[in-house]
Chains A and B, each alone.
Chain A
Amino acid sequence: MARITAGVATSHVPAIGAALDNGKAGEPYWQPVFAGYEASKAWIAAEKPDVVILVYNDHASAFSLELIPTFAIGCAEEFAPADEGWGPRPVPVVKGHPELAWHLAEKLILDEFDMTIVNKMDVDHGLTVPLSLLFGQPEAWPCRVIPLAVNVVQYPPPTGNRCLNLGKAIRRAVESFPEDLKVVVFGTGGMSHQLQGPRAGLINREFDNAFLDRLIDDPAEQAKVPHIDYVREAGSEGIELVMWLVMRGALDEHVKVAHRFYHVPASNTAVGHLILENAG
């Protein structure tokens, strides 16, 4: 039986990818960011997941306004890094796990989560930056990846509660897959940031750290927080944090915090990162 062993939450700031790709990771500005992921790289090297289900949002790369799926699951054999205007990131092609992805799509839809099935999709920094942060710069990614894209660009995104419940449904679906696979779920995006308008540059440490606390200890309460609180307190793009609730929903009620990290700034954004292990 496949099983979910742990969850990873991380921001997916594009400038982090650019810093790595351009050899700037050792610079004083970036060094503290990457230092926060050293323990994570060791952790995932020991954890050795077979599959990562990576919850992220597309940033007008694969999806324009022509088609806006609320939840989309990548069922393809592979996913190429997207050209976001500067050429694709020089990172390996992402290998999918079509068998598990299709199983998830079928189970989730019958469990009343109406997923959009995607058979061809390029993946942007939302997906590749978290892989770089956890796996570094390998020749090939060391595990299969199932992209799970959430709309957070066009208002309204799914509610926090819907995201938490999707996570629970993902767990049920994974546990009904017969092959013995070790699965880790990533929830990405956030933390507080606003990229637009006169309030650009907003950071809210207090909100971010309260979010981290509640995500760990009381996700059901965090899931009740309405969108306007995220937009007001964490900035227009801080609403990406609802995606972390998908990851949390896929874990046990009680979790052990294997790693926690918070840093400001990375470009325009507060970087937050958690590794949570199931604890019953």
Chain B
Amino acid sequence: MTENPFDDIPGTTLFDSRKSRLGFHLNQFCMSLMKAGNREAFKADERAYLDQWKMSEAQKQAVLDRDWNGMLALGGNIYFTSKIAATDGLSFRQIAATMSGVSEDEYAEMMLQGGRSIEGVRSRKDLL
């Protein structure tokens, strides 16, 4: 596979064709949570609901574990996986805090102070 220049951007998953193909069924499952009845069925028995979808075991486990970064790595797109968060009653800010490895309070404070600085996170080379 040719090297993708976007892979140089740290902490960021580009939702490209690779991810879209990998995550199609995971994202379809997420879309199903747009309907209230499906949200109820999922909450009643998450495992049984997930087993109705052609997802990999790793994808199902990432959903059960609410492993938000894991879902992204397995092809989930944030606008789709955030529907799981909505089903759980979690805000975008709460899952953004989890994905970036800080508490919700720390994340909220960072945003109030002007957000995460770009300095040092432009390129993987910055991290060396």
Interface residue ranges, A against B (CB under 8 Å): 14-15, 59-61, 64-66, 83-86, 153-156, 192, 194-207, 228, 231-233, 235-237, 264-265, 267-268, 270
Contact = CB atoms under 8 A, between A and B. Distances in A.
A228 B5 contact: yes
B123 A232 contact: yes
A168 B96 CA distance: 37
A60 B34 CA distance: 10
A201 B111 contact: yes
18 contacts: A60-B30, A60-B31, A65-B80, A153-B77, A154-B15, A155-B14, A155-B15, A194-B12, A195-B92, A197-B69, A197-B72, A199-B116, A201-B116, A202-B115, A232-B9, A236-B13, A265-B111, A268-B111
A129 to B, nearest CB: 14
B12 A231 contact: yes
A237 to B, nearest CB: 8
A85 B118 contact: no
A242 to B, nearest CB: 15
Contacts of A207: 118
Contacts of B17: 155
The B interface is mostly helix, strand or loop, or mixed, namely helix
Interface of B: 5-6, 9-17, 20, 24, 27-28, 30-31, 33-34, 39, 69, 72, 77-80, 82-83, 86-87, 92-93, 96-97, 99-101, 107, 110-112, 114-118, 121-123
A43 B80 CA distance: 36
B72 A201 contact: no
B115 A60 contact: no
B96 A201 contact: yes
B96 A231 contact: no
Contact of A200 (B5, B79, B99): B99
A137 B30 CA distance: 31
A51 B62 CA distance: 45
Task: Identify the 9 closest CB pairs spanning chains A and B, nearest first.
Answer: A203-B115, A199-B11, A85-B86, A198-B11, A196-B78, A200-B96, A201-B116, A60-B79, A155-B16
Given A60-B77, A153-B77, A196-B13, A205 B114 contact: yes
B121 A202 contact: yes
